[in-house]
Amino acid sequence: MMPIEGNTHRFILEMERFCAYQERSAFEIKTKLHRKGATDEQVELVIKHLISNNFLNEARFVEAFVQGKSSIKQWGAQRIKSGLRAHYIAEPLINQALASLSKLDVQANLQRWLQKKQNSLKTEEDGPKKRAKIIRFLLSKGFTLDEILKVV
């Protein structure tokens, strides 16, 4: 392996610390390095180093992202999928991770958001306008229309 020049070595050390803090995607690393002025060649070297030293692992990132967004942010599968696509994660990896989501947890999250929105709309009279607001809100949280229509 060829010796690594000073700037690239500095980028490697910074990105090792960045990845040690929490799981990261290759997209996040590329973005951060480009902001710091790294060349494409340096970015590739840093990413290869991070992968080979197990600082960067897409499968681990996807798992952490899905679990965090589902349990902490209480997002639905569609919003999680959208978030992973924004990180340029491969579709098979996304589908595999979403399959691991518990249907009960998704339903519980849906019920929580539904209750919250209904409470905020207590003063509005029931009707198609109120129902549409609830549906739009739940769609924005990442639930499918089929899931929503079953509970609204």
Domain-by-domain residue ranges, the chain? 6-56, 59-99, 103-151
* pLDDT surpasses 80 at 4: no
3.30.460.20, 3.40.50.800, 3.40.640.10, 1.10.10.10: CATH of 6-56: 1.10.10.10
Percent pLDDT > 90 in the chain is 90
Contact indicator for 50, 29 with CB cutoff of 8 Å: yes
Give CA separation, 95 vs 87, 107, 124, in Å.
14, 18, 39
Q: How far apart are alpha carbons 141 and 130 in whole angstroms? A: 17
Residue 48: its pLDDT value, please?
96
pLDDT confidence bin for 2, thresholds 50/70/90: very low
Q: How far apart are alpha carbons 135 and 51 in whole angstroms? A: 42
